[in-house]
Amino acid sequence: MAADTNETLRIDKWLWYARFFKTRTLASVVCNGGRVRVGGATVRKPSHLIRIEDVLTFSQGPNIRIVRILALGARRGPASEAQLLYEDLAPVERSATGSKAVVGGGVIRDLGAGRPTKKERRDTDKLRGE
């Protein structure tokens, strides 16, 4: 794509094209909530127009994403195509617990370990004083 600085695109469409959000509606909700910034200015509308070289800051789950727009895109394509639309300025880092998850009462379990067994549940209740 040619980098024409006059080209613009709605921010909700771009976030959806770049596969940051599963649906365009979710991208719109994030924009309406004021959780997206373009060059440090808060965006309040999903119709806000963005250009190539704009820097976006937004939350995606527990992570804060900072990306520079490299291309606007024309469709929501595969992930490999979507990654060409932006440069990640703050790569997502793993949490301090790594592959562990903190569950109720401060108990740490391996991610994907499933539901606690009966014994683990009793031990958890004992730690909580229940």
Q: What is the pLDDT along the chain (130 residues), one digit of tens a residue?
A: 455 568 999 999 999 999 999 999 999 999 999 999 999 999 999 999 999 999 999 988 778 899 999 999 999 999 999 999 999 998 766 555 456 666 666 667 676 677 778 988 898 889 888 7
pLDDT at 1: 46
**Residues with Cβ < 8 Å from 46, sequence gap 6 or more?**
10, 11, 12, 27, 28, 31, 32
CA-to-CA separations, 74 to 1, 7, 18, 37, in angstroms, rounded: 10, 12, 10, 22
What domains appear along the chain, each with residue ranges and CATH number? 9-88 (3.10.290.10), 94-130 (no CATH)
Query: To which residue do tokens 């291309």 refer?
Result: 71
pTM confidence score: 0.69
Instruction: Judge whether 72 and 89 are in contact, CB under 8 Å.
Output: no
Q: Which residues pair with 43 in a beta bridge?
A: 36
